[in-house]
Amino acid sequence: MTNAGARPQGPIGKVLVIIPTYNEADNVEPIVRRVRKAVPEAHILVADDNSPDGTGKLADELAAADDRVHVLHRKGKEGLGAAYLAGFAWGKDNGYDVLVEMDADGSHQPEELPRLLTALGNADLVLGSRWVPGGRVVNWPKSREFLSRGGSAYCRAFLGVSVRDVTGGYRAFRTHTLEALDLAEVASQGYCFQVDLAHRAVRQGFQVVEVPITFVERERGDSKMSKDIVFEALWRVPAWGVTSRVNRLLGRRHN
């Protein structure tokens, strides 16, 4: 899928891995170390929401010891979507060609990042997918798997997208893709933020590719999943679907 806003794929250029954190003191050093080992040429941005457990201070220490590690200190906890949007802006301002989303807790394995970056050679956006052949989850109860699979099916039904894992958060964007997605209009948070960006990319005709990943449930710290995140998706996704259908009927593009 291509459009006038898409560019020919090819060499991916400078890579920035954005890792949002809030109370991830136990996880920030291991995840940074693993990313640096898996993709030594990549840079890392820890976007910390003023964690009271000292995550930001630990990230500063990592950055002081490694010029490929950077820290973005934010004023407070504003949600995953806001943290990524701030990270995207930082990456764009500092000249990165690829911006990667990655959780701090190790559920997104850095050792699989080379696979995403390789696939980006022929794509505008690569999604790490649990629900394509070869993808899987580890240490999840069946109820959590049902919720995730059902959430993606719910989104596909309302939005008319073919993406199998539309809620997943392990992603590699070409910066030009993000620049075309009207990020100033994005207000969604949590997993709904991931749905929003994937839907926008598909709707605008960008080449979106899914590659299989193994998602490993966190071993340390607390999950950020909440009922509010689920409820947000329940009302936002149908609203986006209706808006898209109305715009198509009216002959409007990409709105």
Which position has the token pair 């022929």? 122
Q: pLDDT exceeding 90 applies to what percent of the chain? A: 64
How many domains does one find in the chain? 1
By residue range, what is the domain housing residue 201? 15-248
59 lies in some domain: yes
Please return the burial class of 241, using the count of CB atoms within 10 Å of its CB with bins 0-12, 13-18 and 19+: middle
Classified as helix, coil or strand, 77 is coil
- In this model, does residue 24 exceed pLDDT 70? yes
CA gap 62, 69 in Å, rounded:
7
User: What pTM was computed for the model?
Assistant: 0.85
- In this model, does residue 109 exceed pLDDT 90? yes
3 lies in some domain: no
Task: State the number of CA atoms in the 13 A half-sphere of 109 facing the CB.
Answer: 16
User: Could you tell me where the DSSP H helices lie in 69-207?
Assistant: 80-93, 113-119, 142-159, 175-179, 190-203
121 lies in some domain: yes
7 lies in some domain: no
10 lies in some domain: no
pLDDT tens profile 35-80: 999 999 999 999 999 999 999 999 999 999 999 999 999 999 988 9
254 lies in some domain: no
pLDDT tens profile 110-136: 999 999 999 999 999 999 999 999 999
253 lies in some domain: no
218 lies in some domain: yes
CATH number for 122: 3.90.550.10
